[in-house]
Amino acid sequence: MFGHTTLKNIVGKNIALSDKMIDAINEWKQMLGGQADWITDSVESLGIENGICREFADAVLSEMESGISNEKLNKAYQKNMIALNENMQQGLGIGSFIIKPLGGDAAEFITADHFVPISFADDGKPNDIGFLTTKRVGETDYYTRFERHYFVNGNLTIENRCYHSQTPNDIGLICSLEEVPEWEQINPGPVSYPGMTQMAFGYYRNPIKNDVDGSACGVSIFDKAKGRIRKADLQAARFDWEYESGERAVHIDDRALKRDNRNGRFGMAKLNKRLYRGLNIEDGKDKDLLKEYSPEMRDEAYKRGLEEYKREIEFIVGLAYGDLSDVQTVEKTAAEVKVSKTRKYNRVTAIQNNLASCLEDFVAGLAFYNGMYNSGYDFSCKFNDSILTDEETERQQDRQDVAMGVMQIWEYRMKWYNEDEKTAKAAVQQPAEVIE
């Protein structure tokens, strides 16, 4: 992604993509790649960002049913839906993505770091946009194609320009598309398409208010949780260090070490190198040759802290308890678990609504590139609410298992009331036990 000033000069007017937004997109990309600012040699990324995106994408698409009434268009559509999940994960992380037909049954997924929103319509969809494609030729020649889509007199208009540079960080000077063999057949335009009154691609953005710069640009699904993700990564580093620093060792006085005549090194027979450490421990009257080092491990405390951070992340981004965290480590009532499921359901539903609109526009683009825009096709897209219904179905099945005697009541309470075994067994001893 080039800087705001460079992009503004290419377009020739103000653009909706600000410097703040460009910086945010770059930051989200780094986090997804495990290269956040706080990652060092001693602090590794837990990959929570990818986990969030994967969980939402799976929940959104797991039972999606969509298709087109026209056989030819549907075949092209279904072919491209195969790659929807993996590309949606990236789009969720960076804030937005585009599914852009290329002609025939081909299409490409473009994330926010490769397109430039110039302006948005009142419905939040771009009505003037540019796409950036860079190719390297040889060792030092970089060519960037800027493909712009906008409207002239209400009709879709497309133009292409090419720039040449000898560094990937600079767009360089304008040149001919013919300098790149793959682009020599592209009409530089501008070319208008009468009757095509909408963009020929599908645009998706996360259903999250943009507090980065207040524009209609999409915001990462985990943006609000950046601080907690950082704390979780740091906590995991403390957790790892607790194990590493707490390795058992035996401090051995130099007098107890024997020299190996073959290599001249000192050591002790039949002991692992990690187990003993040679040093002069003679101190005053202390003449012990061996001292054991075996500190008390505090791993449980670190683990509880890490799990709590994960739960806070789940709450902030709209996931349910247990999607990222270990559901058994922190007690949650049945009501709390149900509320968290509802929270996830609401967020997933909002994502599905935006995705359905994106796919509908993508289908229109497919029809346009295949000369079938006015052919009278029908598009359908349905999602299942299994996030809530599956839980209720499972709960009902467990009730039946209890009634049949194949599941104990205390086991039911442990599972659905998040009680430990002792508490659950004590509860079932009370009269008038009722399963809800």
Residue at 305 is within a domain: no
CA-to-CA distance for 312 and 374, rounded, in angstroms?
49
Residue 263 pLDDT class (50, 70, 90 cuts): low
Give 110's strand partners. 98
Tokens of 389: 């219904």
Residue at 338 is within a domain: no
Q: Treating both helix axes as pointing N-terminal to C-terminal, what angle do 48-61 and 84-94 enclose, rounded to 10 degrees?
A: 130
CA-to-CA distance for 317 and 228, rounded, in angstroms?
11
Give 420's strand partners. none
Say yes or no: 16 and 156 in one domain: yes
Say yes or no: 61 and 138 in one domain: yes
Rounded to whole angstroms, what are the CA distances from 352 to 59, 67, 357, 410? 10, 15, 9, 38
CA-to-CA distance for 289 and 170, rounded, in angstroms?
66
- Looking at 141-211, list the stretches that DSSP marks H as alpha helix, in order from N- to C-terminal side: none
- Domain end residue (candidates: 355, 382, 409): 382
Residue at 193 is within a domain: yes
Say yes or no: 140 and 265 in one domain: no
Domain count, the chain: 2
CA-to-CA distance for 26 and 4, rounded, in angstroms?
13
pLDDT for 151: 95
What is the three-class DSSP state of 233?
helix
Query: Which candidate, 126, 63, 67, places its Cα nearest to that of 96?
Result: 126
Residue at 377 is within a domain: yes
Residue at 115 is within a domain: yes
What DSSP letter does each residue of 291-325 carry, written as one string?
EEE-PPP-HHHHHHHHHHHHHHHHHHHTPPTTSSS
What mean pLDDT is reported for the chain?
A: 85
Say yes or no: 177 and 253 in one domain: no
Residue at 97 is within a domain: yes
Tell me the per-residue pLDDT of 126-164, one tens digit each, with 9 for 90 and over.
999 999 999 988 888 999 999 999 999 999 999 999 999
Residue at 224 is within a domain: no
Say yes or no: 63 and 198 in one domain: yes
101 preceded by a cis bond (ω within 30 of 0): no
The phi and psi torsions of 262 (rounded to 5 degrees) equal -75, -40
Say yes or no: 281 and 210 in one domain: no
Burial of residue 422 (CB within 10 Å: 0-12, 13-18, 19+) is exposed
CB 133 within 8 A of CB 144: yes
Say yes or no: 279 and 215 in one domain: no
Query: Which candidate, 220, 260, 283, 226, places its Cα nearest to that of 90?
Result: 220
Say yes or no: 190 and 289 in one domain: no
Q: Which structural domain range is residue 254 located in?
A: 247-294
Residue 279 pLDDT class (50, 70, 90 cuts): very low
Say yes or no: 19 and 128 in one domain: yes
CA-to-CA distance for 110 and 107, rounded, in angstroms?
10
Tell me the per-residue pLDDT of 48-93, one tens digit each, with 9 for 90 and over.
999 999 999 999 998 889 999 999 999 999 999 999 999 999 999 9
Say yes or no: 14 and 152 in one domain: yes
Residue at 59 is within a domain: yes
Rounded to whole angstroms, what are the CA distances from 148 to 158, 188, 375? 6, 10, 26
CA-to-CA distance for 398 and 396, rounded, in angstroms?
5
pLDDT for 250: 56
Give 142's strand partners. 136, 165
In eight-state DSSP terms, residue 284 is T
Tell me the per-residue pLDDT of 168-177, one tens digit each, with 9 for 90 and over.
888 899 999 9
What is the three-class DSSP state of 46?
coil
| Residues whose CB is less than 8 angstroms from the CB of residue 222 and which lie 6 or more positions away in sequence, other chains included | 28, 31, 48, 49, 52, 53, 93, 229, 313, 317
CA-to-CA distance for 294 and 182, rounded, in angstroms?
65
Query: Is the pTM of the predicted complex or chain greater than 0.85?
Result: no
Say yes or no: 262 and 202 in one domain: no
